[in-house]
Amino acid sequence: MGFYICVDKDVKVYIEDINPTGKKIVFFVHGWPGNHNYFEYQFNYLPQMGYRCIGMDYRGFGHSDRPWTGYDYDRLSDDIRSVVNTMQLQNFTLLGHSTGGAICIRYMSRHNGYGVSKLVLCAAAAPSLIRRPYFPYGLKSEDVFNIIQGVYKDRPQTLRDFGNMIFFNPVSPAFSDWLFQLGLQASGWSTAAIAKTWLGEEKLFEDLGKIHVPTLILHGVNDKVCLFPLAVAQHECIKNSKLIPIESCGHFLFYDQLEIFNKELIGFLEII
């Protein structure tokens, strides 16, 4: 069931609510540059086990409105809070992939984890996607600059190049094309704006220490976007966390190692 929720003045985000009568809720927040459909192979499976799956396209992406502003993590986490309030969600698991993971971390800090009983971080872009003098584990800043410039000059080719680095295992050309089309559904300006957050956002270092719910960290050992040391840093900063390294796995771990990902996720969800 799909519908829209107003999260800001003249801004509505798209929500997909699958199995609304399910007793256990998982709220999915996608990564760049896609939308909630990234999690199709979780949405196919989890509701069969009685879970209610909620996918949100954050502003500028998928079917959501595309305002010119509002792409910082504070505003994006506020959008999640608006959805939580409107849908009256409580005792749910919040799951974020890549930049979506960073947004979820900000939500946990800025909104004190309102309504969240568990957190799942999947290849999360935190505490820093790029290398910094005090954190030498991320991408080179010039790599991100190149992505931003590529979005402005040739967004389709930039997304194609990104698609070529997100898997460790081969995928079919049809699947690759499907992911590519999901990325093109976003606006160019929102695609660039989110990429810019990777350069300037440093508060995530502080945010991690404010997470106090059980947290599962799933991360591909062969991730070329959010390098594996990011997951180690997350685990060290979040007190009640469990890190699962996934071997032979890249950035899109929820498909690259689909069976392992779903097994670990469900095992965590089933813990009382």
Summary count for the chain: helices (H), strands (E): 10, 8
Where on the phi/psi map is residue 248: left (φ > 0), alpha (ψ -120 to 50), or beta?
A: left
Instruction: List strand residue ranges (DSSP E) for the chain, in order.
Output: 2-8, 11-18, 24-29, 51-57, 92-97, 116-122, 215-220, 241-246
Give the active site residue among 98, 128, 190, 241: 98
Q: Quick check: bond before 127 cis, omega within 30? A: yes
- Residue from 267, 253, 271, 259 nearest 121 by CA: 253
Instruction: Determine whether 235 is an active site residue.
Output: no
Instruction: Determine whether 64 is an active site residue.
Output: no
Task: In whole angstroms, give the CA distance from residue 272 to residue 269.
Answer: 8
Give the active site residue among 109, 187, 251, 256: 251
Task: In whole angstroms, give the CA distance from residue 96 to residue 50.
Answer: 20
Element at 84 (helix H, strand E): helix 73-87
Residues with Cβ within 8 Å of residue 259, at least 6 apart in sequence = none
The 8-class DSSP code of residue 59 comes to: T
Contact predicate 257/244, CB 8 Å: no
Backbone angles phi, psi at 266, to 5 degrees: -65, -40
Give the active site residue among 78, 79, 207, 223: 223
Instruction: Determine whether 36 is an active site residue.
Output: no
Task: In whole angstroms, give the CA distance from residue 97 to residue 164.
Answer: 18
Instruction: Return the active site residues.
Output: 98, 223, 251
